[in-house]
Amino acid sequence: MPSLHDSTRGRILFGGDYNPEQWPEETWLEDVRLMKEAGVNSVTLGVFSWARIEPRPGARDFGWLDRLMDLMRLNGIGVVLATPTCSPPPWMGSRHPETLPRDEDGRTVWWGSRQQFCPSSPVYRGYAAALTEDLAARYGGHPALRMWHINNEYCTHCWCDETARHFRTWLRARHGTIDALNEAWGTAFWSQRYDTWDEIIPPRRAQYMKNPAQVLDFRRFTSDALLECYVAERDIVARHTPRTPVTSNFMPLWSGQDAWKWAEHEDVVSVDLYPDPRDPHGGQYNAMLGDMTRSQARGPWALLEQAAGAVNWRGVNHPKPRGLNRLWSLQSVAHGADAICYFQWRQSRQGAEKFHSGMLSHAGEQGRTFQEVKRIGSELALLGPLLEGTGVRSEIAILHDWDSWWADQQDGRLSAHVDYPEIVRSWHRALWESNLPTAFARPDHDLSAYRLVVVPHLYLLDDIAIDNLVRYVRDGGTLVSGFLTGVADQDDRVRAGGMDARLRELFGIRTVHEWWPLDADETVECDGFSATLWSEELEVSTGETVASYGSGELTGLPAIVRNGRAWYVSTLPEPAALRALLARVAGDAGARPVLDGLPQGVEAVRRGELLFLLNHGAKSVTVPVPGRHQDLLGKRCVDGSVELERHGVALLRARTPA
Ligand code: GAL
Ligand code: ZN
């Protein structure tokens, strides 16, 4: 199987989406000159080129792309070639309206933007396959080709009649018989029993709350339907170029795709990262998504898109202050990325994204953005050979699962304030602030390599996952679980006792009597700390109460329970308390921080033999580092400590005594 290494060949890929069809050909020459100046070695072509390549059904205009591919080859720049199937041309919707998605109300999603395709439409799939076939036949042998990029951020949803048919086929494969489906969906409730498969529809607009098991299956189905589109195109390009890796860029922590499952079908796992430059925890967020993507990739991953400055889809879009683009780029490398790319190379002057930054901004080559991009390019060129074949080690895994997320975020639950990604973020932040390196895993993965496994919140756990967690602790692992975990089975059926019996035994809990969600602005006191969001009325069996509720209805009852190496945290402790708790448990489990005594806001990451020190804080700091090192970026000797300016980075290699 090809891998990212087949694209990078010992370098870090550096570049971005390049949309030259938006510019006159003279501009292409200037682009190439500046790309070389910036150390760009990779451009992603074709992402939105469908209408240009196929101006009318079945036509092909490849001449411009031929010239571009050759231009890139002549200049030593590799091409990540996209199948342009995420944005069908207007002729498709106009001639084949059934390819357009319908929303839950049956309203059509029209052309005039992008991504207006129904993943279940055979007509859409037919056109996409034909174009992919021709693209692969034409460029499969081109020396500039480094990687295939299928579609772009697969994210469409559709509730149309074709989707209904497709959904039924998917359901038959999952449930076998209509009786089994009725059982799994609990259709005895509210007279929802299905007599035949034909009666089943996607969960469309309804009078009141929808059947949660149906919604859950529909989310699984939608992820799978998109995956089928991906696999169909991947198979075509792979047939032409079995040695060229294939990817499709994920949106980070995006609910619409089960990225664990998708990653199994990708040669290269890639992601697009857009933390908010104003977010005081943006660095932690970037770290978390790097950890997650690396774990999905089980090795090096590709950052296929980030912004050199502002995006243009937030309410207020802030540029990146000096140094932040470099800091977050090097941080991604530290977390295992072997490709640092942007959306996009040259900032557009027209269209919906004209205020979205580019590597080459409206300010041009003298602009600060481009000057910083050049610096990043030269540093990455230096790093590539040093990092070749290296990885990032973590002794702690955070469990994350799409099924659970989907089941959790539905109507009819006890608290609408429970925001799954935010909870995952809180737990990652607690570990990150203690400089404890983390990986992510799915609850049914082999966890034996980790000293500590944390479960921020997994409402749904199937039997395989539960047995896996129990076995993990029995075999010597330490497990810390957050609230409302192990409540539902794979069909969103609540397990008796408020938590699966095997888990209750594991945590030493006899019964979860009631869940007590907290109001948005409510806090509850526990022994020495406050907590938010959630609380639970627990009765312990063999578990020891580590902290009790000290205010509210649950005063005196256990908040945190420990049963040997298994811990259950029935609320969300404030950040400092969660950090202290996890640092203590991690220490007991033998997991070590990368460095001790780091100033606040400074992150240390080890990749291979290199130690990255990253200053996410607002001020310059002195960082104590035991021993003697060489800073490969600052070209200085580091003896005992190093100065880092705001957004500063040091890349240290130990100096062997002469
Ligand atoms: C991504 C997308 C790009 C561009 C970018 C803007 O979601 O793949 O095409 O739109 O966002 O931030
Ligand atoms: Zn549809």
| DSSP per-residue letters across 644-655 | E-TT-EEEEEEP
Q: How far apart are CA 318 and CA 333, in angstroms?
A: 24
Q: How far apart are CA 49 and CA 450, in angstroms?
A: 45
Q: How far apart are CA 16 and CA 348, in angstroms?
A: 13
Q: How far apart are CA 23 and CA 44, in angstroms?
A: 16
Q: Based on the number of CB atoms within 10 Å of its own CB, is 489 exposed (0-12), middle (13-18) or buried (19 or more)?
A: middle
Nearest CA to ligand 1 atom 12: 311
Q: Based on the number of CB atoms within 10 Å of its own CB, is 264 exposed (0-12), middle (13-18) or buried (19 or more)?
A: exposed
- 412: tokens are 């009819």
Kindly give the pairing relationship between strand 42-45 and strand 396-399.
unpaired
Q: From the CA of 528, how far away is ligand 2's center (Å)?
A: 54
Same domain, 479 and 566: yes
Please name every residue paired with 511 in a beta bridge, in sequence order, or none if there are none.
Answer: 539
Same domain, 583 and 615: no
291 touches 332 (CB < 8 A): no
Is 228 among the domain residues?
A: no
Q: How far apart are CA 19 and CA 10, in angstroms?
A: 26
Same domain, 352 and 454: no
Q: How far apart are CA 308 and CA 318, in angstroms?
A: 11
To 10 degrees, the CA torsion angle through 60, 63, 67, 73? 40
Residue where a domain stops, chosen among 335, 368, 387: 387
Give the count of beta carbons closer than 10 Å to the beta carbon of residue 10.
11
Q: How far apart are CA 299 and CA 392, in angstroms?
A: 8
Same domain, 11 and 91: yes
Q: From the CA of 160, how far away is ligand 2's center (Å)?
A: 4
Nearest CA to ligand 1 atom 5: 343
Nearest CA to ligand 1 atom 4: 343
Supply the pLDDT for residue 498: 87
- The ligand 1 atom at the shortest distance from the C-alpha of residue 152 is 8
Ligand nearest to the CA of 357: 1
Same domain, 382 and 425: no
Q: From the CA of 209, how far away is ligand 2's center (Å)?
A: 23
Q: What averages of pLDDT result for each successive group of 10 residues across the chain (658 residues)?
A: 90 98 97 98 98 98 98 98 98 98 98 98 98 98 98 97 98 98 98 98 98 98 98 98 98 97 98 98 98 97 98 98 98 98 98 98 98 98 95 97 97 96 98 98 98 98 98 98 98 95 98 97 97 98 98 98 98 98 98 95 97 97 97 94 97 84
Same domain, 34 and 91: yes
DSSP 8-state code for residue 658: -
Distances in Å between the alpha carbon of 641 and those of 298, 531, 599, 624, 628?
A: 33, 37, 12, 4, 9
Q: How far apart are CA 17 and CA 14, in angstroms?
A: 11
Q: How far apart are CA 62 and CA 54, in angstroms?
A: 9
Is 400 among the domain residues?
A: yes
- The ligand 1 atom at the shortest distance from the C-alpha of residue 48 is 9
Distances in Å between the alpha carbon of 53 and those of 5, 134, 462?
A: 30, 11, 46
Q: From the CA of 343, how far away is ligand 1's center (Å)?
A: 6
Ligand 1 cavity residues, CB under 6 Å? 152-153, 272, 274, 305, 311, 343, 353, 356
Is 199 among the domain residues?
A: no
Q: From the CA of 273, how far away is ligand 1's center (Å)?
A: 10
Ligand nearest to the CA of 222: 2
Place of tokens 């038959």: 172
479 touches 469 (CB < 8 A): yes
Largest Cα–Cα separation, the chain: 81
- For residue 494, how many C-alpha atoms fall within 13 Å in the half-sphere facing its CB? 8
Q: How far apart are CA 609 and CA 393, in angstroms?
A: 11
DSSP 8-state code for residue 374: H
Q: How far apart are CA 185 and CA 189, in angstroms?
A: 9
Kindly give the pairing relationship between strand 478-481 and strand 566-569.
parallel
Ligand nearest to the CA of 308: 1
Q: From the CA of 466, how far away is ligand 1's center (Å)?
A: 38
Which among 49, 114, 272 is the best mutation to test ligand 1's pocket, defined by most ligand atoms within 8 Å of the CB? 272
Same domain, 152 and 297: yes
Supply the pLDDT for residue 563: 98
Same domain, 612 and 478: no
Comparing C-alpha atoms, which of 240, 259, 260 is closest to residue 250?
259
Same domain, 126 and 50: yes
Supply the pLDDT for residue 602: 98
Nearest CA to ligand 1 atom 3: 343
Please name every residue paired with 654 in a beta bridge, in sequence order, or none if there are none.
Answer: 629
- The ligand 1 atom at the shortest distance from the C-alpha of residue 249 is 8
Ligand nearest to the CA of 167: 2
Same domain, 518 and 642: no
E-state strands within 307-417: 337-342, 396-399
- Catalytic positions are 153, 305
Q: Cis before residue 409, ω within 30 degrees of 0?
A: no
Mean pLDDT of the chain: 97
Ligand nearest to the CA of 122: 2
Nearest CA to ligand 1 atom 9: 343
Nearest CA to ligand 1 atom 7: 153
Is 200 among the domain residues?
A: no
- For residue 622, how many C-alpha atoms fall within 13 Å in the half-sphere facing its CB? 5
The one-letter amino acid at 348 = S
Same domain, 483 and 546: yes
Q: How far apart are CA 108 and CA 101, in angstroms?
A: 6
Q: How far apart are CA 461 and CA 491, in angstroms?
A: 10
The one-letter amino acid at 168 = R
Q: How far apart are CA 421 and CA 413, in angstroms?
A: 17
Where does 411-562 have alpha helices with state H? 420-432, 463-474, 501-507
- 490: tokens are 């794979």
Q: How far apart are CA 586 and CA 588, in angstroms?
A: 5
Q: From the CA of 320, how far away is ligand 1's center (Å)?
A: 17
Is 183 among the domain residues?
A: no
Q: How far apart are CA 340 and CA 332, in angstroms?
A: 8
Q: Cis before residue 344, ω within 30 degrees of 0?
A: yes
CATH code where residue 616 lies: 2.60.40.1180
Instruction: Return all residues near 411 (Cβ < 8 A) that are at least 6 apart.
Output: 209, 210, 212
Supply the pLDDT for residue 658: 54
- The ligand 1 atom at the shortest distance from the C-alpha of residue 312 is 12
Lateral strand order in the sheet of 452-455: 438-441, 396-399, 452-455, 478-481, 566-569, 558-563, 544-548
Instruction: Return all residues near 339 (Cβ < 8 A) that are at least 6 apart.
Output: 4, 7, 8, 12, 13, 14, 42, 270, 301, 302, 303, 304
Residues in the chain: 658
Q: From the CA of 163, how far away is ligand 2's center (Å)?
A: 5
- For residue 360, how many C-alpha atoms fall within 13 Å in the half-sphere facing its CB? 25
Supply the pLDDT for residue 657: 64
Is 36 among the domain residues?
A: yes
Which among 22, 80, 253, 305 is the best mutation to test ligand 1's pocket, defined by most ligand atoms within 8 Å of the CB? 305
CATH code where residue 249 lies: 3.20.20.80
Is 108 among the domain residues?
A: yes
Residue where a domain stops, chosen among 568, 589, 610: 589
Is 204 among the domain residues?
A: no
Which among 342, 343, 359 is the best mutation to test ligand 1's pocket, defined by most ligand atoms within 8 Å of the CB? 343
- The ligand 1 atom at the shortest distance from the C-alpha of residue 274 is 12
Q: From the CA of 606, how far away is ligand 1's center (Å)?
A: 30
- The ligand 1 atom at the shortest distance from the C-alpha of residue 251 is 7
Question: Can you give the residue range of the structural domain that contains 136?
Answer: 4-157+244-387
Residue where a domain stops, chosen among 387, 422, 454: 387
Q: Based on the number of CB atoms within 10 Å of its own CB, is 155 exposed (0-12), middle (13-18) or buried (19 or more)?
A: middle
Which among 153, 274, 289 is the best mutation to test ligand 1's pocket, defined by most ligand atoms within 8 Å of the CB? 153
Same domain, 362 and 511: no
- The ligand 1 atom at the shortest distance from the C-alpha of residue 313 is 12
Supply the pLDDT for residue 9: 86
Domains identified in the chain, total number:
3
CATH code where residue 536 lies: 3.40.50.880
Q: How far apart are CA 277 and CA 422, in angstroms?
A: 18
Supply the pLDDT for residue 656: 75
Q: How far apart are CA 597 and CA 599, in angstroms?
A: 6
